[in-house]
Structure 1
């Protein structure tokens, strides 16, 4: 009995659920959450292009550097990476300084004893800054919308129709 129910659900959705196995369009994933965007190399690339125009690319670069840092095991590598992150993004002389609270309290001493989550608070701040600021603008930007449009054009509408028809044909037999 239960299986017929499931069957009708599929049928009622007009073959729509059969598209579930197709991968979601990247732009749809990117628009769903900043996390999704940052997990997709292409998304990161587009977001960086956008941030470059806004002169805030250092935010995403800092976030990515912190992600890499958290995966490190080797203490010596961690020390080097921590120092690099500090010098690039956090020190008062940093070339790509990010704007975070509490960075004034971060001094070079902590770099001698690095631990994977030492930048977590700052990384979270930057994540939220991007999420509530540049990310929402990115989703309205030409850069994003053009990419979305290109994706939609690549998906030939007749194809999707035949898939739906195919699906309904399968379920009707």
Structure 2
């Protein structure tokens, strides 16, 4: 079973590398490892990710949506979530976004199964917190997986991050240090 799962992950990664969507390229997702040495989504580990601008970082304080729409915002928020031991919420959300971009039925089924095993299964160490109604919907959807199998769960996790983690992120040292560092650079320039 373990070797079969490893083989599926290899196939999934090779398919993702062969067919990156424009959205993945735009948002810097797709070919990343969840244990990259840095907090970037690109997974290149040479850290060629763009540094956020002061304007972007200030915009993150205006709304959670503005934070989540930028790769740098997601990276900083993911770093914060890691300190709170809830990084799986962002990883699940990103995996769902990636699934939505897929059009190949067999790849959709494979990715959906991996998402289920990694984030929904009660046996997973990265299990996300979902209510029983959403779990029932997912179990029904898994009979015939699609790009939208996890939509209800993704919305629930997005809402959880927005209401619970985002306010703490805005008051965190991670956010304040980044804002201060960019403000100082702006003054010097």
Q: Structure 1 length normalisation: TM-score?
A: 0.72
The match for 2:162 among 105, 108, 131 is 131
The match for 1:84 among 114, 120, 129 is 114
CA contact (8 A) 2:64 2:162 kept: yes
Matches within 5 A, 1:1-173: 25-101=55-131, 102-106=133-137, 110-156=141-187
Q: Structure 2 length normalisation: TM-score?
A: 0.66
Shift of 1:71: 1.1
**Count of matched residue pairs:** 136
Inter-CA distance 138–104: structure 2 relative to 1 (3 Å threshold): same
Where does structure 1 lack aligned partners over 5 or more consecutive residues? Answer: 1-22, 160-173
CA contact (8 A) 2:134 2:152 kept: no
Alpha-carbon displacement from aligned partner over 1:46-84 (angstroms, at most 9, x marks no partner): 111111111111111111111111111111110111011
- Report the RMSD for the aligned CA atoms in angstroms: 1.9
1:166 maps to: none
CA contact (8 A) 1:90 1:103 kept: no
Query: Could you tell me how far apart the structure 2 residues matched to 1:63 and 1:31 are?
Result: 20
The structure carrying a bigger helix percent of its residues is 1
State which structure, 1 or 2, has the greater radius of gyration over its C-alpha atoms.
1
Where does structure 2 lack aligned partners over 5 or more consecutive residues? Answer: 1-52
Inter-CA distance 105–112: structure 2 relative to 1 (3 Å threshold): closer
**Structure showing greater relative contact order (alpha-carbon pairs closer than 8 Å, 6 or more residues apart):** 1
Alpha-carbon displacement from aligned partner over 1:112-166 (angstroms, at most 9, x marks no partner): 4112222111111111100011011000000000000011111127x6xxxxxxx
